[in-house]
Amino acid sequence: MFLNVLLVLLQVQVPGVPEHRITNIFEPLASPAAAEKNIALFTLAITGAIFLIVGGLIAFTIWRFRSRPGDDTNQEPAQVYGSNQIEVAWTVIPILIVFVLIGVSARVIASVQNASPPKSMLKVKVIGHQWWWGVEYPDYGIVTANEIHVPVAKGQNTATYLQLQSLDVIHSFWLPQLAGKTDLVPNRTNYMWIDPQEPGVYVGNCAEYCGTQHANMLLRVIAQPKSEFDQWAAAQQRAVASNSQAAQGKAAFESLSCVNCHMVKGTPAVGKFGPDLTHLMSRQTLAAGVLTNTREHLRAWVNDPQEAKPGSLMPSLKLTDKELDQVVSYLESLN
């Protein structure tokens, strides 16, 4: 399983699109992440200096006052009690340091939170589920999952504002190169924003333990030039083309309990518990980043979701080989 996820992380590559695979907060590619990197470095510098001073003094003391041949081991060393100056110093200095760190952090947090959105912002609603991400574009009428397409912000005076909600437990939305973590809390809406400066795929994950498959709740932001984003959005808004080759599969799919949990726009499948499948094949991965989106993986996933993602809330329907082929052919026509 781990290997599988690793392979997905390393391999899924869209031709011509750079992949920002390093989940590294020290290589920010968006304004919130850049501001947070600076504060992280500042904090590291101060705490690093404290570490060096304290560690250095301890090392020096151990070395300087080590036992030497000829020491009188029967006699206790001189006992020293109390020094007002030293005690005041080591109380006041740490307090000052803590207040400096609080003040600087609060300033950065406030500047990120209170940044006024540009006029041309994109609004996206992200809904946490065990263990996948629902993604909605209210202004576009688009519903998708696990992938957030956004226009590249550089030179565009734009940004993507995210409305974060959860339908079950607390999750945490984290794209290390774009912004810090924000929790998705049931019965509450949290907000954050991202403005990816370079096109490419940014990977992230759920950062709050939310159950068995927490580690397989992967997330990707696909930042594209505005024209490509518009193309993507237009394709997502299109109704599913009816495909005569998949007609049997469609009938099979609609006769099964798939439709209780999944939505395919314009069909009797109107379930909302699982990911919307209307344009399933336009996505790079299945099962929230666990499998690359290939026919082979799709078939294995539908056959037994518990194999790739034990604990997944999608049950195995124990389909016959024929049903499985039909359903997979239908799903493959959803592009």
- Decide: is 250 part of the binding site for ligand CUA (CB under 6 A): no
217 touches ligand CUA (CB under 6 A): yes
Give 39 or 124: the residue with its C-beta nearer to ligand CUA.
Answer: 124
Residues 281-310 that bind ligand CUA (CB under 6 A): none
Q: Which is nearer to ligand CUA, 171 or 220 (CB)?
A: 171
CA distance 131 to 218: 9
We find the least distance from the C-beta atom of residue 214 to ligand CUA, in angstroms, to be 3
Size of the site for ligand CUA (CB under 6 A): 9
- Distance in Å, CB of 281 to ligand CUA, minimum: 25
271: Cα within 13 Å, side-chain hemisphere? 15
Distance CA 334, CA 281 (A): 6
Instruction: Tell the smallest beta-carbon distance from residue 100 to ligand CUA (Å).
Output: 33
Least distance CB 163 / ligand CUA (angstroms): 17
The Cα–Cα gap between 305 and 262 comes to 15
Alpha helices in 17-142 (DSSP H): 31-64, 84-113
Rg, the chain, Cα only? 27
CB of 170 vs ligand CUA, minimal distance in Å: 8
- Binding to ligand CUA in span 156-215, by CB under 6 A: 171, 206, 208-210, 214
Cα angle for residues 237, 239, 245 (degrees, 5° grid): 140
Q: How far is the CB of 132 from ligand CUA (least distance, A)?
A: 9
Nearer to ligand CUA, 214 or 297 (CB): 214
Residues 109-128 that bind ligand CUA (CB under 6 A): 128
Residue 35 near ligand CUA by CB under 6 A: no
Nearer to ligand CUA, 214 or 250 (CB): 214
Three-state DSSP class for residue 227: helix
Angle at Cα 16 formed by Cα 13 and Cα 21, nearest 5°? 45
Tokens of 201: 């795929």
- Reference 149, options 223, 231, 225, 206; nearest CA is 223
H or E stretch at 29: none
Which spans of this chain sit near ligand CUA (rule: CB under 6 A)?
128, 131, 171, 206, 208-210, 214, 217
